[in-house]
A and B are shown apart, each in its own frame.
Chain A
Amino acid sequence: MALDRIFRRKKPQLVVQDDLPELWSKCTHCSVQTYKKDLLAEKKVCPSCGFHNRISVEERIAFLLDEHSFVQSSGHVTPLDPLEFKDSESYPDRIKRSQQKTGRPDAILCGEGRILERPLVLALMDFSFQGGSMGSVVGEEITRAAELALERKVPLLIVCASGGARMQESVLSLMQMAKTTVALNALGKAGLPYFSLLTDPTTGGVTASFATIADVILAEPGALIGFAGPRVIQQTIRQNLPEGFQRSEFLLEHGMVDIVVDRRKQRTLLAQLLDHLGSKHKKAPVQEYKI
């Protein structure tokens, strides 16, 4: 304990001296420092312990898609305050703050792109926008993404990151769970594959709707995925939760996800799956699996 204190006191002196924080990043999991450029090359997965840092939607696109292949389709739909929700801070103010922070109308970005030359439609949830919560806009954009995939006859991938349905739109948010499902059912009926990639964290109404009805459910290592949040469960049952509870590996063990896949291997895996399940509508010849 005493040693610990000494080290903690010394730390600020180190940082002030040079440009360490500019170039180096310390893993929140194993505390090992990695050169930032190296970390980026590893898609922000700690090369030392494999910890998957949370990444932005833009980074996700860069890590997942072929370069310059993404064409945005979302962004025309904007949130309103239909319930005139009364809160400690007004809903429009909360929205405005998140919009300024992210440069997006709401917690989602959709578009078309390619993974190793294979075309698909993507929807990516933005956890940094009000916890990636789903209100009318997120529901509408997911629905439109599914409809776009149907129109283009290409597979759909949804990258999930969300605390669940958005309280400030109450029952309208709840209905988005059914609405998105209806659109995904239509996609399935047309024989087009739908993949969902669950990232840290995915909980609540998103897990209880479109996130978990995919043909193939992928999860990033260590991601928190569940219906109720751990705090709610703890309050309900008044006992400590088991180690690793609601993490990707726990869900794999319980048969709830298909594959837990390292971020650095997702492109290859998705390309394989796109070929295996997307052959019905495929026009171009199958490509090699290269990273």
Chain B
Amino acid sequence: MSENVRSLESALHALEKTMRDTGADLVQEISNLKHKLEGLRSSEDAKLSRWARVQLARTPSRPTGLDYVERAFSDFVELSGDRCYGNDQALIGGPATLEGRPVMLLVQQKGRDTKGNIKRNFGMSHPEGYRKAMRLMDMAQKFGLPVIAIIDTPGAYPGIAAEERGQAWAIAESIAKMASLTVPTLSIVIGEGGSGGALAIGVGNRVMIMQNAWYSVISPESCAAILFHDAKEAPRAAESLRLTGQDLLELGIVEEVIPEPLGGAHLDLDTTVANFKEAVLRHLEELSQLSGEEVLEQRSRRFRNLGVFGEN
């Protein structure tokens, strides 16, 4: 946020306080100032670099998966465990209702503070997370629930135990399972869409992304480390990777960019969740018109057609 925005904000707060305290009629002035502030924020938003958006997506106060679940859905019942090894805390899920409609939620969850992040492993799943997701997809298929997958992960966890228990296998199988469902699937990237760990639950009939979220094959830091031999070149890598919502819309990777309040989702949670909920309901309604076979066919065609190449 720039100095200009901040000074306008404090002027606005001062005016509002004066009106409250003195009862003076400043409605017009306040309205003018609000309008001006919105214009300034909007033009600043358009100028945000890709790296700035990556940083917005990582803002510690940014809403997490559960913030959306608690506000947009009712009666969420978290179901635990992969029935093989453990219960991953970075990928949670279970049934819930959305405006009376039963759905299956898969949620990549980061912590809301340091303690939470340690519990959630900073949103980086082990294979158990993806295997739990698969179990819940099977359940959704069995009981005819649409799957709503909320994506927010820097990536799948790269560790010894994760490799021993088949991290790649779990992701691959999760992709394959989600691709085979005849119930509708929706995937929404709300923060970080870190590579295969995100795609594991990203095989949606529709895929959406929040305005200040990113989705890429590799994090800007890792990309910079490989290409420029320096993780500090991440801002440059972020530009190259074309990883913002707007980029993805232009590349045909997502159907929709869900708008955030100016300045970022964390500044106005209610508006953020309302926008999210509206988009999810609209797509779910459209998809509910399709038969199971049509759902599978639509999703298969959607992914079959992704890729840019020449032909001779």
> Which residues in A have some Cβ–Cβ distance to B below 8 Å?
76-80, 82-83, 85-88, 136-137, 139-140, 143, 165-167, 169-179, 181-186, 204-205, 207-213, 226-228, 232-233, 236-237, 241-242, 245-246, 254-256
| Bound Cα distance A143, B215 (Å) | 23
B215-249 vs A, CB cutoff 8 Å, 1 = contact: the mask equals 11110001100111000000010011111000010
Check if A177 sits within 8 Å of B196, measured CB to CB: yes
| Bound Cα distance A71, B191 (Å) | 46
| Bound Cα distance A139, B158 (Å) | 24
B306 interface residue per 8 A CB criterion: yes
Contact residues of B: prevailing secondary structure: helix
Check if B307 sits within 8 Å of A176, measured CB to CB: yes
Complex: chain B residue closest to A141, CB-CB:
B309
Check if B242 sits within 8 Å of A171, measured CB to CB: yes
CB contacts (< 8 Å) of B241 on chain A: these are 83, 167, 170-171
Within 8 A of A (CB), among B48-74: none
For A178, A205, A211, the residue with the greatest tally of chain B CB atoms inside 10 Å of its CB is A178
| Bound Cα distance A184, B169 (Å) | 15
Check if B179 sits within 8 Å of A181, measured CB to CB: yes
Which of these, B218, B253, B304, contacts A183 with CB under 8 Å?
Answer: B304
| Bound Cα distance A172, B253 (Å) | 8
Q: List 18 A-B contacts (CB under 8 A).
A: A79-B310, A86-B236, A88-B227, A165-B217, A167-B226, A169-B217, A169-B308, A170-B242, A170-B243, A171-B243, A179-B304, A185-B176, A205-B196, A207-B168, A208-B172, A208-B196, A226-B168, A254-B164
| Bound Cα distance A61, B248 (Å) | 38
B163 interface residue per 8 A CB criterion: yes
> Which residues in B have some Cβ–Cβ distance to A below 8 Å?
156, 158-160, 162-169, 171-173, 175-176, 179-180, 195-196, 199, 202-203, 215-218, 222-223, 226-228, 236, 239-243, 248, 251, 253, 299-300, 303-304, 306-312
CB contacts (< 8 Å) of A211 on chain B: these are 168, 172
Which of these, B171, B240, B299, contacts A208 with CB under 8 Å?
Answer: B171
Check if B159 sits within 8 Å of A178, measured CB to CB: no
CB contacts (< 8 Å) of B227 on chain A: these are 87-88, 167
Q: Tell me, rounded to whole Å, the shortest Cβ–Cβ distance linking B266 to chain A.
A: 24
A86-B239, A179-B306, A254-B166 in contact; A212/B172 too (CB < 8 A)? yes
| Bound Cα distance A274, B251 (Å) | 40
CB contacts (< 8 Å) of A83 on chain B: these are 240-242, 251
Complex: chain B residue closest to A207, CB-CB:
B168
Q: Tell me, rounded to whole Å, the shortest Cβ–Cβ distance linking B117 to chain A.
A: 15
Q: Tell me, rounded to whole Å, the shortest Cβ–Cβ distance linking B84 to chain A.
A: 11
Instruction: Kindly list 16 other residue pairs between chains A and B, CB separation below 8 angstroms, not including A140-B309, A143-B304.
Output: A77-B309, A86-B239, A88-B227, A88-B228, A136-B307, A167-B241, A171-B241, A171-B248, A174-B217, A175-B307, A181-B175, A185-B179, A208-B156, A208-B168, A208-B172, A212-B169
Check if B311 sits within 8 Å of A78, measured CB to CB: yes
Check if A87 sits within 8 Å of B240, measured CB to CB: yes
CB contacts (< 8 Å) of A165 on chain B: these are 195-196, 217-218
| Bound Cα distance A177, B263 (Å) | 34
| Bound Cα distance A167, B222 (Å) | 10
Check if B159 sits within 8 Å of A233, measured CB to CB: yes
A76-B312, A179-B303, A237-B160 in contact; A185/B180 too (CB < 8 A)? yes
Q: Tell me, rounded to whole Å, the shortest Cβ–Cβ distance linking B228 to chain A.
A: 7
Check if A233 sits within 8 Å of B158, measured CB to CB: yes
A174-B195, A212-B172 in contact; A237/B253 too (CB < 8 A)? no
Q: Tell me, rounded to whole Å, the shortest Cβ–Cβ distance linking A154 to chain B.
A: 21
Check if B216 sits within 8 Å of A174, measured CB to CB: yes
CB contacts (< 8 Å) of B218 on chain A: these are 165, 167, 170
| Bound Cα distance A266, B156 (Å) | 33
| Bound Cα distance A181, B178 (Å) | 10
Which of these, B163, B236, B239, B304, contacts A227 with CB under 8 Å?
Answer: B163
Q: Tell me, rounded to whole Å, the shortest Cβ–Cβ distance linking B68 to chain A.
A: 22
| Bound Cα distance A24, B22 (Å) | 97
A167-B226, A174-B216, A236-B159 in contact; A86/B240 too (CB < 8 A)? yes
Check if B179 sits within 8 Å of A178, measured CB to CB: yes
A77-B309, A78-B311, A88-B227 in contact; A227/B167 too (CB < 8 A)? yes
